[in-house]
Chain A
Amino acid sequence: MAYYISLYISLAIFAIGLIYKIATWFFLKTSVDSKTIPTAKRVSSALKGIISTIFSSKVLTLVKVFFLDVILQRKVLHEDSFRWLTHILIYGAFMLLLFMHALDKFITSAIFTDYLPTLNPFLFLRDFFGALVIIGICMAIYRRFILKAPRLKTNPMDIYAIILLAIIMASGILLEGTKIGSYSVYKQMVADYADIEEEEELKALTAFWVKEFGTVAPDLKKPFDTELLEEGSEVHEMSCAGCHSRAQWAFVGYSVAFASRGVALSLDRTGIHTLLWYIHFLACFIGLAYLPFSKFFHIITSPLSLLANSVMDKRGSESANIATRQALELDACTHCGQCTSRCSVGVIFEQIQNINILPSEKIQSLKRIVSGKETDEKGLKLILVGTSLCTNCHRCTDVCPAGINLEELWFNMREVLFQKDYQEFSVLSPLSFYRGLMKEGIRQGDYKRPLDLAREAIAAESDLMKNQVKNLTLTRPDREIQGMLGLSDQVSTFKECFACQTCTNVCPVVANYENPMEILGMLPHQIMHAVGLGVRDLAFGSNMIWDCVTCYQCQEQCPQGVRVTEVLFELKNLAIRNVYNLC
């Protein structure tokens, strides 16, 4: 009764969760474009897309991807054979347990008409698959908690998943082990299946089971005499053998029974196997109900993501379908950390402690933004900074075992966050190169906005630049600024500058303008001089430092050996540090 009630409750929660999650794929917005596409359009485009794909040659691609990437996990194998083995053991053997053991009434009995869970090969296979899952779980624990790959993060969801799986497996094995040793279970089986009338026969059978099957019976102790055992063997052959293979074949459960044989009788009296049975099926049902909201949801979403991405691309696919796919992708992440381990800029997390630099964490943050859970301005700014510190090298996307187009997610989310008008200086670095190449896909106003905002922030730094007629009053040099310069060697060479203007004269940026000061503010030699005087406003407030092409002409040609380009680099670093410190 409790079994069926909890089964139906968990099935209902599972179904509602699944429907809710699928619905979110059609209304969550991951990009600027998706904001203008209504849900109805996304649903109809998806249906149209799916149907036209199935009835085209692309279906061959789908079949191939299903076998190589979904079933055989080719991408994981390619990157990390240890993790591949871990995952194959867990998912492969767990699926087999699910079909052969949990759904035996529907699947196994339908295929094998003589199926009985107590008969070989089923008795053996159940334990064999169980052992494989346990090895897999141990390997997963080893990877996450002992091996500690650099920058691999473990979050509560990962831990819940491992714990839930471990409870299901452990309760199953303990249940089997206690049942093997249990006298009450044995008696029940005799009552149900054996046709024994005489007391002597029963005694003989019990002796046989105690000796051969690991049953622990009261009042019966080894060694038994041969005659009794022979008789027991006969009764066994007649009444039991047809339906029950030797318990040793269930080698994991048998080991538990063997190890606990000393306390088996007292355990049996407490009815422990009933308790374990409740734990086992409840854990399974909790897993089922929790599935749409947990890491295990990837069982459904990762294959969908792999399949969708194999037949979709940015140019050929409808933007409505890309919006839907991206929302689905957020659910497809398994937080395996493959992207982070191969991230081109992952290592800088050691220097810039923003978790959103790491792709595996960035996608968690995006999930929160998209579902409206991240509204804190500081948090959003941190995510924008982390999302901007990306070289668009595409490696995260190439290695993602769930096939998620991560790079496109980052790109779209960056644009969404830019619309919040936060000042973000990394747009004024070569990290923007890719954004420039992709600008045809961005509305012109949206493209320029973050750049203008960053420029405004620079201008805001400098009161002096705004008021050019004002004479500089003589003040003490800002030693702090000078002191902060000097990350790279010899930046302090700015002290040697005698303002000969060679740097400015050879600068291709200065040469590009008729009236360079109007556009650029201070020119290179003036900036060197401003730093020498410690005038903060003039040093930071010039567009010149951000418009430097880093061609090193100034530095190469300076007669005084001033590392002009290095000084400009460091001024940029300081300006950015000030902004980052704010968020």
Chain B
Amino acid sequence: MDGKAIMKFALFLGCTIPARLPQYESSSRSVLGKLGVELVNIKEFNCCGYPLRNINFKAAVLSSARNLALAERESLNILVLCKCGFGMLKHAAHFMKEIPALRKEINAILKKEGLTYEGDIEIKHLLSVLYHDVGVEVIKEKITKPYTKLKIAAHYGCHALRPKEILQFDDPVNPTLFDNLVGLTGAESIDWEARLDCCGAPLFGSNDDLSMDLTAKKLANAKQSGADYLCDACAYCHIQLDTVQGMLNKARGGNHLLPAILYPQLLGLSLGIDSVTLGLSMNKIDITSVEKYLSI
């Protein structure tokens, strides 16, 4: 099988990353480029539909399905960086497959733009692509500067894990994929109780107290478990664990910050990619000192 031909994806950025988290895009692009994954930009991509789920189911599925149809038109599988976006696209693909009446209705709307979605493409999260498509061995070979004595609390993110029957990302009760990816860099992925818990982001803006309660619990548990950094791979989780953590500390008077690093930033440094490309200084809570853990 020609590995290179398969490792070509339509990159789905969604709304949040270009507007508020450009370092996630730049670090992912540089890491994927180094590992031989080709990314195609589809300018017409729109909202994944995730924030519309509370409001209107069909609007959310329509929004999602339009993205799927756009990628399908190019015969490309989709690579998603954000887990909420990943979850929504997977859900939409599932609904479109399982509910023929819905598929018909949505496709009738898409047809006005000359689009249609038949369900012939795959939707993958960044971490899955790294783990399954690129492969652990390939990444391991390319790592030139492994970390030493760095303890990472890997945050899985709900919308990639559950419900498993739809997402097929990893075991929802005892996942290992992200821990293994963290381990490749030489860092230690610690065991911590709250690793599968919600970061609180879905409620930020609508119930800030509750949202911050969940974030605070998660951070406290990671810290107690000895983590030096949190590591995540989702736009919403990251903003919650980075920007909102800063707001949380300001509001509640804490001053023990646990910085969050995006996985491609963590991996990128160990692959020898420079900190500017990885946008290390763009995180709200300083993570630049992570470079001290690099062995060379």
With the chains together, A253 CA to B14 CA distance in Å? Answer: 53
Flag whether B15 is at the interface (Cβ < 8 A).
Answer: yes
CB-CB < 8 A to B55: which residues of A? 389, 425-426, 429, 431, 572-573, 576
Interface of chain A: mostly helix, strand, loop or mixed: helix
With the chains together, A508 CA to B208 CA distance in Å? Answer: 15
Contact pattern, B 170-200, Cβ under 8 Å of A = 1, otherwise 0 = 0010000000000000000000000001101
- Our pick among B51, B158, B172 for the contact of A391 (Cβ within 8 Å) is B51
Whether the pair A351, B163 counts as a contact (CB closer than 8 A) is: no
Flag whether A367 is at the interface (Cβ < 8 A).
Answer: no
Q: Taking A487-B57, A488-B95, A509-B210 as contacts, is the C-beta distance between A351 and B62 under 8 angstroms?
A: yes
Q: Taking A344-B47, A393-B19, A556-B172 as contacts, is the C-beta distance between A512 and B203 under 8 angstroms?
A: no
Flag whether B1 is at the interface (Cβ < 8 A).
Answer: no
Flag whether B18 is at the interface (Cβ < 8 A).
Answer: yes
CB-CB < 8 A to B200: which residues of A? 549
A-B contact pairs, 15 of them (CB 8 A): A391-B51, A429-B55, A429-B206, A430-B51, A431-B52, A431-B55, A436-B244, A437-B204, A488-B99, A489-B94, A489-B98, A546-B54, A547-B207, A549-B202, A552-B159
Contact pattern, B 39-66, Cβ under 8 Å of A = 1, otherwise 0 = 0000000110011111111110011001
Flag whether B213 is at the interface (Cβ < 8 A).
Answer: yes
Whether the pair B18, A433 counts as a contact (CB closer than 8 A) is: no
Minimum-distance CB pairs A-B, first 5: A432-B205, A436-B205, A393-B15, A552-B162, A429-B54
- Our pick among B15, B46, B57, B159 for the contact of A573 (Cβ within 8 Å) is B57
Q: Taking A351-B56, A556-B162 as contacts, is the C-beta distance between A345 and B46 under 8 angstroms?
A: yes
Query: Which of B158, B205, B243 has the largest number of chain A CB atoms within 10 A?
Result: B205
Flag whether B234 is at the interface (Cβ < 8 A).
Answer: no
Query: Which of A351, A393, A430, A572 has the largest number of chain B CB atoms within 10 A?
Result: A430
The chain A residue sitting closest to B200, CB to CB, is: A549
Query: Which of A351, A389, A395 has the largest number of chain B CB atoms within 10 A?
Result: A351
With the chains together, A451 CA to B209 CA distance in Å? Answer: 12
Whether the pair A436, B56 counts as a contact (CB closer than 8 A) is: no
Q: Taking A348-B56, A569-B57 as contacts, is the C-beta distance between A433 and B158 under 8 angstroms?
A: no
Flag whether A570 is at the interface (Cβ < 8 A).
Answer: yes
Whether the pair A431, B51 counts as a contact (CB closer than 8 A) is: yes
With the chains together, A437 CA to B198 CA distance in Å? Answer: 18
B200 CB, nearest partner CB in chain A, Å: 7
Whether the pair A552, B163 counts as a contact (CB closer than 8 A) is: yes
With the chains together, A435 CA to B15 CA distance in Å? Answer: 15
A33 CB, nearest partner CB in chain B, Å: 20
Flag whether A428 is at the interface (Cβ < 8 A).
Answer: yes
Whether the pair A428, B54 counts as a contact (CB closer than 8 A) is: yes
CB-CB < 8 A to B15: which residues of A? 344, 391-393, 395
The chain B residue sitting closest to A569, CB to CB, is: B53
Name B116-148 residues within 8 Å CB distance of A.
none
- Our pick among A425, A550, A577 for the contact of B202 (Cβ within 8 Å) is A550
CB-CB < 8 A to A508: which residues of B? 197-198, 214
Contact pattern, B 57-82, Cβ under 8 Å of A = 1, otherwise 0 = 11100110010000000000000000
Whether the pair B18, A394 counts as a contact (CB closer than 8 A) is: yes
Whether the pair A547, B56 counts as a contact (CB closer than 8 A) is: no
Query: Which of A426, A573, A577 has the largest number of chain B CB atoms within 10 A?
Result: A573
CB-CB < 8 A to B214: which residues of A? 508-509, 512, 549
Flag whether A427 is at the interface (Cβ < 8 A).
Answer: yes
Whether the pair A348, B63 counts as a contact (CB closer than 8 A) is: yes
Contact pattern, A 540-582, Cβ under 8 Å of B = 1, otherwise 0 = 0000001101111101100000010100011011001100000
- Our pick among A351, A389, A553, A576 for the contact of B109 (Cβ within 8 Å) is A351
With the chains together, A32 CA to B84 CA distance in Å? Answer: 32
Whether the pair B205, A352 counts as a contact (CB closer than 8 A) is: no
Q: Taking A428-B206, A430-B236, A508-B214 as contacts, is the C-beta distance between A550 and B53 under 8 angstroms?
A: yes
CB-CB < 8 A to B53: which residues of A? 429, 550, 569
Flag whether A434 is at the interface (Cβ < 8 A).
Answer: yes
Contact pattern, A 449-488, Cβ under 8 Å of B = 1, otherwise 0 = 0010000000000000000000000000000000000011
- Our pick among A343, A430, A437, A553 for the contact of B54 (Cβ within 8 Å) is A430
Flag whether B112 is at the interface (Cβ < 8 A).
Answer: yes
Whether the pair A556, B51 counts as a contact (CB closer than 8 A) is: no
Flag whether B16 is at the interface (Cβ < 8 A).
Answer: yes
- Our pick among A343, A509, A547, A556 for the contact of B46 (Cβ within 8 Å) is A343
Flag whether B280 is at the interface (Cβ < 8 A).
Answer: no
Whether the pair B59, A351 counts as a contact (CB closer than 8 A) is: yes
With the chains together, A446 CA to B101 CA distance in Å? Answer: 43
A408 CB, nearest partner CB in chain B, Å: 13
Whether the pair B162, A512 counts as a contact (CB closer than 8 A) is: no
B202 CB, nearest partner CB in chain A, Å: 5
- Our pick among B172, B202, B244 for the contact of A430 (Cβ within 8 Å) is B202
Name B83-98 residues within 8 Å CB distance of A.
84, 94-95, 98
Flag whether A346 is at the interface (Cβ < 8 A).
Answer: yes
A121 CB, nearest partner CB in chain B, Å: 42
With the chains together, A553 CA to B159 CA distance in Å? Answer: 10
- Our pick among B113, B202, B213 for the contact of A512 (Cβ within 8 Å) is B213
Whether the pair B210, A547 counts as a contact (CB closer than 8 A) is: yes
B143 CB, nearest partner CB in chain A, Å: 33
- Our pick among A352, A392, A434, A556 for the contact of B164 (Cβ within 8 Å) is A556
Whether the pair B16, A393 counts as a contact (CB closer than 8 A) is: yes
With the chains together, A352 CA to B58 CA distance in Å? Answer: 9
The chain B residue sitting closest to A576, CB to CB, is: B55
Query: Which of A437, A487, A552, A556 has the largest number of chain B CB atoms within 10 A?
Result: A552
Flag whether A372 is at the interface (Cβ < 8 A).
Answer: no
A369 CB, nearest partner CB in chain B, Å: 23
A181 CB, nearest partner CB in chain B, Å: 48
CB-CB < 8 A to A433: which residues of B? 51, 201, 204-205, 236, 239
With the chains together, A430 CA to B202 CA distance in Å? Answer: 5
CB-CB < 8 A to B18: which residues of A? 393-395
CB-CB < 8 A to B19: which residues of A? 392-394
B12 CB, nearest partner CB in chain A, Å: 12
With the chains together, A576 CA to B53 CA distance in Å? Answer: 11
A551 CB, nearest partner CB in chain B, Å: 4
B241 CB, nearest partner CB in chain A, Å: 13
CB-CB < 8 A to A551: which residues of B? 158, 162, 197-198, 202
CB-CB < 8 A to B113: which residues of A? 150
Name B268-290 residues within 8 Å CB distance of A.
none
Q: Taking A351-B62, A391-B15 as contacts, is the C-beta distance between A345 and B213 under 8 angstroms?
A: no
